[in-house]
A and B are shown apart, each in its own frame.
Chain A
């Protein structure tokens, strides 16, 4: 277990270093940082002085080391566009994305698992077919189209839900939350559904195929032969055994939710990190781009690591393999 953990940590570190190198190359070589910072009328001498002061004349390796050292201390420089530290921008934007992603994940799980269980047990009922058709459409409709459709129905036609922003937010310490006000909650509904729909179809399909597989096994037949009721067999025996892969996939999908939040946040003008990233891409705001890249990579690597370790902890077979390797 310890050897496995150390090896995984080592691999995670290598991935992070690779991403850091990419972020550094982006930061240092895509566009001239000095040109981005100063105006037209700055003299060459002043530019050279700024270059020296920022350490841009040092050997590239020294600069890379400094970049990593700064990133490790959570310092990503100053945004070209708004001239403020990138970290304070992120601190402002993070709560919005976090609340949106979490709500979407809850929505996906709370609807996806029951739908998956139902379609797994009642394979041929018309309701199952309906669920599966809806899930196929959910996979075929791009996220932004779902968002636009929801806006058109609920904001434009019915006028019951807001189409952009977070509504009123409450500030608790450094964290802003929209979960405590009525307008904040209302504003959360459409973006959360948009973001969660794809994940929901994924969970439904996964739970369904797992249920179908488990329901065929001998111990389920034996449980039925013992005279256990449908409820006990379906939920006590079958569902319990489908949950390990489901938990893994949901864990890994948290990363995808954060990535897809970029699209949802753009459609709903949700003031989160995704919208910040898109604006940074459009304005060539390199420090924000490389900071976002590093943070997202860190989140993904962390999630992958936790899922891997959980797997070892849950499934003894993986533990044996880990010891051998």
Chain B
């Protein structure tokens, strides 16, 4: 919080400024949010599962028993092995192997890693675009507002998955054969660009309310620039719904990434990702190799379910009407 705010009436200063002397930990443990978090076992379980999966994904290079990127280590003799507990399983491969002899467990760890990385970056991109446009539209109003919101309306006419598919298709066509690893960033871009509208609309609506409050007027009076008012003063006060939408969007982004990769327009099949693993496994479903699709599918479902539960909880916990 900047010093300019200190002279304002108590009601208008943010809670963070008044609570500053206390330690950050006490503040977290004393908050309503922590209380509602502790009072639901389901939410705690969801948070634990999410943390475990993110941790495992981050530590993939350390804890994975094999390296799915290392083509020399692949042995076709090891391909299509069932999990350990099934007849014919190999103790080296806990969850079995795929058609090229890659260890399913290791590939899942690396795949979750890229799925989470793409989704987080995409949601951050969407938040960046959406919040900026929403702030600008709400604060400036007039023609700027009309243009931005009209674009948002057009964008809202189409489901996110279709927009992502189109952006992806165009990018793939433009750089056909010359991608060389850019698929990752194309995915981030296409998912990010298909999710920004919700943030823009929410932030715009709240900015319209905030901009008439006294602290904004005061900031304007002392001659702060518009950018400083928007991003340093208005922004912190409109962030909590952004956090909720962000969490729910994260689950949606994981699904979208997996769907695009499954459809063959996301990551290439050589790149481990939950979507590409399911796509490969789907081809071997009829030959009875269920483990190729079951384990990545289960990982995806659990990850999305856990994040969804967290998002639902956060939405209810931050909504004062429901208390």
Contact = CB atoms under 8 A, between A and B. Distances in A.
Nearest to B293: A148
Contact of B285 (A152, A255, A296, A300): A152
B172 A281 contact: yes
Given A142-B300, A144-B278, A282 B154 contact: no
A144 B259 contact: yes
A142 B258 contact: yes
A301 interface: yes
Contact of A144 (B165, B176, B262): B262
Contact of B159 (A14, A145, A149, A260): A260
Judged by DSSP, the binding face of B is helix
Contacts of A300: 157-158
Interface string A117-158: 000000000000000000011011111110011011000100
A279 to B, nearest CB: 10
B300 A145 contact: yes
A293 B176 contact: no
Contacts, number: 103
Interface stretch (B60-68, B90-98, B224-232, B301-309): B301-309
A160 interface: no
Given A140-B251, A142-B300, A278-B265, A286 B173 contact: yes
Judged by DSSP, the binding face of A is helix
B301 A145 contact: yes
A148 B161 contact: no
Contacts of A282: 264-265
Given A284-B173, A289-B169, A140 B301 contact: yes
Interface in B199-217: none
Given A156-B286, A259-B158, A297-B158, A145 B297 contact: yes
Contact of A259 (B162, B288, B300, B301): B162
A55 interface: no
Contacts of A151: 285
B263 interface: yes
Contacts of B57: none
A54 to B, nearest CB: 19
A262 B258 contact: no
Contacts of B157: 15, 255, 297, 300-301, 304
Interface string B226-267: 000000000000000000000000010001001100111100
B290 A140 contact: no
B154 A143 contact: no
A156 B308 contact: no
B8 interface: no
Interface in B259-304: 259, 262-265, 278, 282, 285-286, 288, 290, 293, 297, 300-301, 304
Contacts of A306: none
B84 interface: no
A286 B162 CA distance: 16
B210 to A, nearest CB: 25
Contacts of B17: none
Contacts of B173: 30-31, 281, 284, 286
B127 to A, nearest CB: 22
A141 B259 contact: no
A296 B169 CA distance: 16
A137 B150 CA distance: 35
A260 B161 contact: yes
A304 B282 CA distance: 36
A108 interface: no
A141 B265 contact: no
Contacts of B309: 136
A198 to B, nearest CB: 10
B221 interface: no
A57 interface: no
A149 B169 CA distance: 27
Nearest to B265: A281
A26 B174 CA distance: 10
Interface string A277-298: 0100110101001000100110
Given A31-B173, A144-B262, A259 B305 contact: no
Given A140-B304, A259-B161, A296-B162, A15 B154 contact: yes
Given A15-B154, A142-B300, A256-B159, A281 B169 contact: yes
B176 A284 contact: yes
Nearest to A266: B263
The CB with the most chain B CB atoms within 10 A, among A145, A267, A286, is that of A145
Interface in A247-267: 255-256, 259-260, 262-263, 266-267
A262 B264 CA distance: 12
Contacts of A149: 297
B73 interface: no
Interface in B120-156: 150, 153-154
A278 B166 CA distance: 10
Interface string A174-215: 000000000000000000000000000000000000000000
Nearest to A15: B154
B113 to A, nearest CB: 19
Given A136-B305, A301-B157, A145 B278 contact: yes
Interface of B: 150, 153-154, 157-159, 161-162, 165-166, 168-170, 172-174, 176, 251, 255, 258-259, 262-265, 278, 282, 285-286, 288, 290, 293, 297, 300-301, 304-305, 308-309
5 contacts: A141-B304, A142-B258, A145-B301, A148-B285, A152-B293
Interface of A: 14-15, 18-19, 26, 30-31, 136-137, 139-145, 148-149, 151-152, 156, 163, 255-256, 259-260, 262-263, 266-267, 278, 281-282, 284, 286, 289, 293, 296-297, 300-301, 304
7 nearest A-B pairs in the assembled complex, by CB-CB distance: A281-B169, A140-B305, A259-B162, A259-B159, A284-B173, A140-B304, A142-B255
